[in-house]
């Protein structure tokens, strides 16, 4: 047998039992309910402030402590293009006016001989 071997233990073994680790902190169980009928039970310290909502680990939806009034899914807005944002800020008449000004400027630069790409 090797000189430095410890009998009855494996390499990387942690403390053996509650006595060596100390007493566990007092805890409370809190149940969260999501809109898809999932229940999640979490353990919190007695002194900890309990959050009103928690993300469900199964589906990712928000969950709350109140079983009767479960939170609804957040509304996800579709991706907007740059053109959609521009159309929100400008009317068709304003867009036509801006386009006309840009075309007039471009045509005047071409007549003067500037190289335009």
Q: Which residues lie below 8 Å from residue 74, measured CB to CB, with a gap of 6+?
A: 62
pLDDT of 7 reads: 62
Asked whether residue 58 falls in the same domain as residue 87, the answer is: no
pLDDT of 25 reads: 83
Q: Considering the domain boundaries, does residue 16 fall inside one? A: no
Q: Alpha-carbon distance 27 to 57, whole Å?
A: 21
Q: Considering the domain boundaries, does residue 17 fall inside one? A: no
Q: Considering the domain boundaries, does residue 5 fall inside one? A: no
Q: Considering the domain boundaries, does residue 15 fall inside one? A: no
H/E element holding 89? helix 82-89
Residue 53 is part of a domain; what is its CATH number? Answer: 2.20.28.270
Question: Where does the pLDDT of residue 103 fall: very low under 50, low under 70, confident under 90, or very high at 90 and above?
Answer: very high
**Entry pTM:** 0.51
Q: Contact, 70 vs 31, CB < 8 A? A: no
**pLDDT, tens digit, for every residue of 10-66?**
666 665 555 566 777 899 999 999 989 999 999 999 999 999 999 999 998 999 999
Q: Which 3 state secondary structure label does DSSP give 45?
A: strand
Q: Both tokens of residue 112?
A: 């003067």
Span of 27-36, 47-56, 71-80, 86-95 with lowest mean pLDDT: 71-80
Q: Considering the domain boundaries, does residue 38 fall inside one? A: yes
Q: Alpha-carbon distance 33 to 71, whole Å?
A: 9
39-45: strand order across its sheet: 39-45, 27-34, 62-64, 53-55
Mean pLDDT value of segment 98-107: 93
Q: Considering the domain boundaries, does residue 69 fall inside one? A: no
Question: Which residue segment(s) compose the domain that 44 sits in?
Answer: 24-64
| Number of neighbours of residue 15 by Cβ within 10 angstroms | 9
Q: How many domains does the chain have?
A: 2
Q: Considering the domain boundaries, does residue 49 fall inside one? A: yes
Q: Considering the domain boundaries, does residue 93 fall inside one? A: yes
Asked whether residue 28 falls in the same domain as residue 57, the answer is: yes
């Amino acid at each position: 047998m090797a000189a430095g071997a410890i009998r009855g233990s494996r390499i990387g073994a942690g403390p053996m039992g509650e006595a060596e680790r100390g007493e566990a902190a007092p805890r409370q169980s809190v149940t969260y309910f999501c809109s898809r009928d999932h229940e999640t039970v979490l353990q919190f310290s007695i002194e900890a402030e309990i959050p009103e909502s928690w993300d469900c680990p199964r589906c990712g939806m928000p969950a709350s402590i109140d079983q009767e009034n479960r939170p609804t899914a957040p509304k996800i807005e579709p991706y907007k293009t740059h053109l959609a944002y521009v159309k929100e800020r400008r009317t068709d008449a304003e867009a036509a006016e801006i386009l006309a000004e840009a075309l007039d400027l471009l045509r005047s630069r071409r007549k003067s001989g500037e190289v335009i790409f």
